[in-house]
Amino acid sequence: MKEVKPLHRVEIKTTEKKYQGVLLERPALADKKYIVLKLDNGYNIGLEKKKIKSIRDLGSVKAGKHTKPGRENKGDKPHVSVIATGGTIASRVDYLTGGVHSAFSAQELISAVPELKSIADIRGKQLYNKFSENIQPGDWVSIAKSVARELDDKALGVVVTHGTDTLGYTAAALAFMLKTPVPVVLTGAQRSSDRGSSDAALNLIHSVKTAAESKYPGVCVVMHANLSDDISLIHNPARVRKMHSSRRDAFQSVNCAPLGRVSEKEIILHQEYTPRVNKPELNTKINEAVSLIKYHPGLKPQVIDYLVDSGYEGIVLEGTGLGHTSERLFDSIKAGTDSGILFCMSSQTLNGRVNMNVYSTGRVLIDCGVIPCADMLPETALVKLMWVLGQTKNRKKAAEMMLTDYVGEISDKSHIKDDLSVFES
Stretch that binds a second copy, among 68-76, 110-118, 394-402, 417-425 (CB under 8 A): 417-425
User: ∠ CA(344), CA(348), CA(353), 5° rounding?
Assistant: 65
Which one, of 276, 295, 282, lies nearest residue 387 by Cα? 282
137 binds a second copy (CB under 8 A): yes
* Cβ 164 to a second copy shortest distance, Å: 6
What is the residue type of 58? L
Q: In the bound complex, what is the minimum distance in angstroms from residue 134's beta carbon to a second copy? A: 5
Write down how long the chain is: 425
Q: What minimum distance in Å lies between the beta carbon of 154 and a second copy?
A: 31
90, 135, 141, 219: residue in contact with a second copy (rule CB under 8 A): 135
Residue 114 or 196 having the CB closest to a second copy = 196
Query: CA-to-CA distance for 84 and 105, rounded, in angstroms?
Result: 7
Q: Which is nearer to a second copy, 160 or 269 (CB)?
A: 160
Q: For residues 7-36, which are near a second copy according to CB under 8 A?
A: 28-29, 31-33
Task: Give φ, ψ of 255 to 5 degrees.
Answer: 65, 15
Q: Does 326 bind a second copy (CB under 8 A)?
A: yes
Concerning whether 76 is annotated as a catalytic residue, the answer is no
Annotated catalytic residue within 88, 161, 320, 380? 88
Residue type at 14 in one-letter notation = T
- For a second copy, give the closer residue by CB, 139 or 213: 139
Handedness of CA 344, 345, 347, 350 (dihedral sign): negative
Q: Is 325 a catalytic residue?
A: no
Q: Which of residues 157-186 bind a second copy (CB under 8 A)?
A: 164-166, 169-170
- State the DSSP code for 82: E
Q: Is 5 in the site for a second copy (CB under 8 A)?
A: no
Residue 75 or residue 297: which is nearer to a second copy going by CB? 297
Kindly give the pairing relationship between strand 290-294 and strand 260-262: unpaired
Q: How far apart are CA 337 and CA 81, in angstroms?
A: 44
Closest to 330 in 3D by CA, of 291, 299, 375, 355: 299
Q: Is 164 a catalytic residue?
A: yes
- Residue numbers 241-260 binding a second copy by CB under 8 A: 242-247, 249-250
User: How many chain residues interact with a second copy (CB under 8 A)?
Assistant: 85
| Residues 345-364 within binding reach of a second copy (CB under 8 A) | 347-355, 357-361, 363
Binding residues for a second copy restricted to 181-210, rule: CB under 8 A: 196-197
Of residues 76 through 115, those in contact with a second copy by CB under 8 A are 98-101
The binder of a second copy chosen from 126, 291, 391, 421 (CB under 8 A)? 291
Residue choice 12, 143, 344, 382 for contact with a second copy (CB under 8 A): 382
Amino acid making up residue 31: D
Is 14 a catalytic site residue? no
The distance of closest approach from Cβ of residue 104 to a second copy in the complex, given in angstroms and rounded to an integer, is 16
Q: How far is the CB of 127 from a second copy (least distance, A)?
A: 16
Other CB atoms within a 10 A radius of the CB of residue 370 amount to: 27
CB 382 within 8 A of CB 371: no
Minimum distance between the CB of residue 197 and a second copy, rounded to whole angstroms?
4
Least distance from a second copy to the Cβ atom of residue 26, Å:
12
Residue type, 235: H
Choosing from 386, 398, 402, 410, the residue that interacts with a second copy (CB under 8 A) is 386
Q: How many CB atoms lie within 10 A of CB 317?
A: 29
Interatomic CA distance for residues 327 and 420, integer angstroms = 29
Task: Tell whether residue 421 is a contact of a second copy (CB under 8 A).
Answer: no
DSSP string, 372-421: E-TT--HHHHHHHHHHHHHH-S-HHHHHHHHTS-SSSSS--HHHHHHHHH
Q: How far apart are alpha carbons 338 and 268 in whole angstroms?
A: 49
Could you give the CA distance from residue 369 to residue 201 in angstroms, rounded to a whole number? 48
Site membership for a second copy, residue 417 (CB under 8 A): no
Q: Which residues 43-72 are close enough to bind a second copy by CB under 8 A?
A: none
Residues carrying an active site annotation? 88, 164-165, 242
